[in-house]
Amino acid sequence: MFINAYAAPAAKKKLETFQYEPTALGPWEIEVKISHCGICHSDIHLIDDDWRVSVYPLVPGHEIIGEVAEIGSQVNHLQTGQRVGIGWQRSACLTCELCLRGHENLCPHEEATCVGHHGGFAESIGIDSRFAFAIPEKIKSDEAAPLLCGGITVYSPFRLYNVQPAMKVGVIGIGGLGHLALQFARAFGCELTAFSTSADKEADAIAFGAHHFIHTKNHSALKDAANSLDFILNTTFTELDWAGFVNALRPNGKICTVGATANSIDIPANLLMGAQRSVCGSVIGSRWMISEMLEFAARHDIKAQIETAQMVEVNQAVDRVRKGKARYRVVLTN
Ligand code: NAP
Ligand code: ZN
């Protein structure tokens, strides 16, 4: 039996139909028949080999929703026919100190769904069942898919860095991650500022929960925001006026990047020291955080705003994401 998928044959190439033979299911593994898969900008980074970790042929896709088709001998928390979601991480050792502390996303032995393994632009996938998550009934599959990577990636830093309801929060970049970040922070009760290079996203940003919108191409606008925010989440991956954003933090404020920029972060030391500001990062989220995020999203009706495309239209869909045209996440359907 072969799995039909779409793979990039080499860096920056169009995806092509691709078949591969799945390995036999291990005792903890499940096979999931994929119904939906979101396209995250990390898939574009992988196709393009921006991070120099890509292995070709590369089947992207790590915002997966599907139905459990087969279970390994040890799996007792999932059943065949059950709807599950799979994100960026496909496994971890589950025995190291970080795993035992509940930080599996930081495990030195973690494996990514589509780095050295074939991902979700496919009809099915085999995966460690302990990295597949039951999806609350209330969330539709197409709107749930982007939560598995985009959703957890923006939810986790708000929780990790203790963002509180009375805080003033900024979100940089209103794309796949950013539009979900606005919805989560609004549900937390924060006063919210959206920072965007796209003036035409203002109405959408307000609809996602922002109280204020700052068009960052207007440089004086960022200066006017000096000393106004407690926490800023960066979801962009291009050049950024880091000093300007740090300057927009209040004393003890934090700026956190989840955007996977290849550029270095240039910040004058006095901007950090004087007001005790800090810079930090965050990567996806742990398993308990993913379950919590899904439950929170269901309770607060948080969902991705999506465009859907058939799996066969994958190249046009990837192109929309690459060009920043998606509003706000493209989800492939089987
Ligand atoms: P996306 O949907 O393409 O959104 C990125 C946003 O960045 C755009 O909507 C745009 O917002 C802004 N932007 C500013 N300048 C841009 C430019 N020159 N080209 C493109 N976009 C520009 O991407 P995403 O899926 O949200 O992913 C964002 C980043 O997070 C990627 O680097 C991805 O790899 C990373 N990521 C990290 C993790 C993690 O665990 N840390 C997980 C998932 C993804 P405006 O129009 O509002 O300016
Ligand atoms: Zn992703």
Bridge partner list, 196: 215
* Cα of 151 from ligand 1 centre, angstroms: 13
Read off the DSSP letter of residue 24: P
Q: Please work out whether the CB of residue 290 comes within 6 Å of at least one atom of ligand 1.
A: no
- Cβ(172)–Cβ(181) below 8 Å: no
What is the end-to-end Cα distance of the chain in Å, rounded?
18
Q: What is the pLDDT of residues 68-120, one digit of tens each?
A: 999 999 999 999 999 999 999 999 999 999 999 999 999 999 999 999 999 99
Reported as type and span, the H/E element at residue 225 is: none
Closest to 111 in 3D by CA, of 129, 96, 93: 93
Q: Give the largest Cα separation in the chain, rounded.
A: 63
Angle at 105 between CA 9 and CA 182, to 5 degrees: 90
Give the pLDDT mean for 160-187: 98
Cβ neighbours, 10 Å, residue 279: 18
Q: What are phi and psi of 130, to 5 degrees?
A: -75, -5
Give the β-pairing of 29-39 and 64-71: antiparallel
Give the pLDDT mean for 281-296: 98
- Cβ(7)–Cβ(56) below 8 Å: yes
Q: Please work out whether the CB of residue 281 comes within 6 Å of at least one atom of ligand 1.
A: no
> Mean pLDDT for the chain?
97
- pLDDT of 263: 83
* Cα of 303 from ligand 1 centre, angstroms: 18
* Cα of 170 from ligand 1 centre, angstroms: 15
Q: Which long-range contacts (CB under 8 A, 24 or more apart) does 196-201 make?
A: 196/172, 197/173, 198/174, 201/174
In this model, does residue 290 exceed pLDDT 90? yes
Bridge partner list, 308: 331
- pLDDT of 262: 79
Q: Please work out whether the CB of residue 306 comes within 6 Å of at least one atom of ligand 1.
A: no
In this model, does residue 1 exceed pLDDT 90? no
Closest to 238 in 3D by CA, of 221, 260, 207, 253: 260
**Alpha-carbon span 236 to 228, nearest angstrom:** 20
In this model, does residue 261 exceed pLDDT 90? no
Burial of 249 (0-12, 13-18, 19+ CB in 10 A): buried
Percent of the chain residues past pLDDT 90, beyond the cut: 98
Residue 281 Cα: closest atom of ligand 1: 41
In this model, does residue 271 exceed pLDDT 90? yes
Give the β-pairing of 168-172 and 191-196: parallel
Q: What is the pLDDT of residues 18-68, one digit of tens each?
A: 999 999 999 999 999 999 999 999 999 999 999 999 999 999 999 999 999
Q: Please work out whether the CB of residue 41 comes within 6 Å of at least one atom of ligand 1.
A: yes
Per the structure block, which two tokens stand in for 62?
Answer: 């790590």
Residue 205 Cα: closest atom of ligand 1: 47
